Chains A and B, each alone.
Chain A
């Protein structure tokens, strides 16, 4: 089973999964929060936040990666503080790849969640209030279950984006085997060296398997969530 891929190739697959799952998990709570702020909030600067969140969708990924390098690099204003105060380093680490992927996938996650918040009937939340629920309860017991399909969709998009992210990752954390070399960068590297075609093909297959698996898993989850509401 394991000799289907070489150890280096396995490392790329494992790293890609780790990076994508980390990126997805880390952006989940902020994503839901931002989606709520943008959908329900009435505050100064809402428009600016909206633009900021959507920038990674419209900017070339290389530009996003370079901005991350400037900001979160070892000498960057944010990177240096994080490294000195908390010992958190992003530059040329897998955590940096996860950060790049999280940011690239963030607008997709926010959009999906936001769409589902928009469809929530506010009367359902109002009713909960009149039945004695405080806002936290209303969110947990009413709103969250209702937007679950949107959250699942957002998570899949975020995961898929992370699995395919190339430009921002390679610009920000380079292409270090075992540390920052994810599936796409590994495939790219293999296509650049003589005799790498077979490896590239194997990794391509692995990538297809993972993507299809993610899609099926999300379909299954979404169907479970939806079955209780509609069907």
Chain B
């Protein structure tokens, strides 16, 4: 096992910069998830760790060794691809034994290790099949099995679950996590699904446009997003943002309402601020209640366990997540009351404002 350290890494394809100075430290045995919107450079960064993409500048270390110029085969990693990349001309067993065959491991040893990995993934009855004879979920497992058999220093996963249906995705999420707890191999996992990131990671790296926006434990990112991008990206349904001007008695909104602030932000009066509040931190109050946000009900989506409400307010849409069922009707005038001590404030550049 090994730690991975990424130091001021940059990558350009031709003249287009794609990774624009990334620093990440991954501890030995840690499960780190790279998350971010499509095209932000997650796969590119992962492929640079794997050695499949060369590094324009900066350093990547695996263990104590700088691997910038080390070819993929010598990096002691195993990568699982979104498309699984199984060999169509090899059986499941042959696919899984691929790395051992290259190392010249004896046939008996190959068989033993493949069977061991197959048993742990429930693949034993499928060993003689070809990939085309497997379901998507089974292929996914074979791809993981092939990586496990290699017994690498670092596992690299590039969106391994995005081709699976929702239910299978949830169960595979659990299995991968369990696998990691058993093997304790350093893992870098790419996804654009923030729920996957929240539920699986020891540490999340949020990327955007080729830079790291924030690194932290899942709940830290949720509770204390460093900027508006992270605040909006982590959490589902996404955080609501409302623009307002700082006044003595709170935040003056477009609608004329004044929202009280829990703490006085350390910025001058009359500064324009963004007020961020998660959907579960808004409560319904009768229209006209003081210190609330006036709103009109626009969409009601009951899921059974909870209700998602979309309301028109402050010149846009806000989302409210209610745990209890509600008797609201389309078009009804209501007021939204933020739960105290749950709001986030961001300055005009989108940075979190520390409370004073």
Contacts and interface: CB of A to CB of B under 8 A. Distances in A.
Interface of A: 121, 123-124, 126-134, 137, 142, 145-146, 228-231
Contacts of B292: none
A-B pairs, 10 with minimum CB distance: A129-B72, A127-B85, A131-B99, A130-B79, A123-B85, A229-B88, A145-B89, A132-B102, A132-B73, A228-B89
B102 A126 contact: no
A129 B89 contact: no
A228 B146 CA distance: 19
Contact of A121 (B51, B83, B89): B83
Nearest to B80: A127
B77 interface: yes
Contacts of A132: 73, 99, 102-103, 150
Most buried by A among B50, B87, B103: B87
Most buried by A among B78, B83, B89: B89
Contacts of A137: 102
A131 B150 contact: yes
A151 to B, nearest CB: 14
Interface string B204-233: 000000000000000000000000000000
B269 interface: no
B89 A131 contact: no
A134 B81 CA distance: 19
A127 B83 CA distance: 11
A63 B51 CA distance: 49
A228 B73 contact: no
B88 A127 contact: no
B102 A123 contact: no
A142 to B, nearest CB: 6
Nearest to A230: B132
Interface of B is mostly: mixed
Interface of A is mostly: helix
B71 interface: yes
A133 B102 contact: yes
B72 A123 contact: no
A125 to B, nearest CB: 9
Contact of B72 (A130, A142, A231): A130
A16 B81 CA distance: 50
A231 B85 contact: no
7 contacts: A124-B87, A126-B72, A130-B72, A131-B73, A142-B87, A145-B89, A146-B88
A156 to B, nearest CB: 21
Interface string B118-161: 00000000000010100000000000001000100000100000
A127 B96 CA distance: 12
Contacts of B130: 228
Nearest to A229: B88
Contacts of B83: 121, 123
B73 A127 contact: no
Contacts of A130: 50-52, 72-73, 75, 77-79, 156
A146 to B, nearest CB: 7
Given A123-B81, A134-B73, A231 B132 contact: yes
Contacts of A134: 71, 73
Nearest to B149: A131
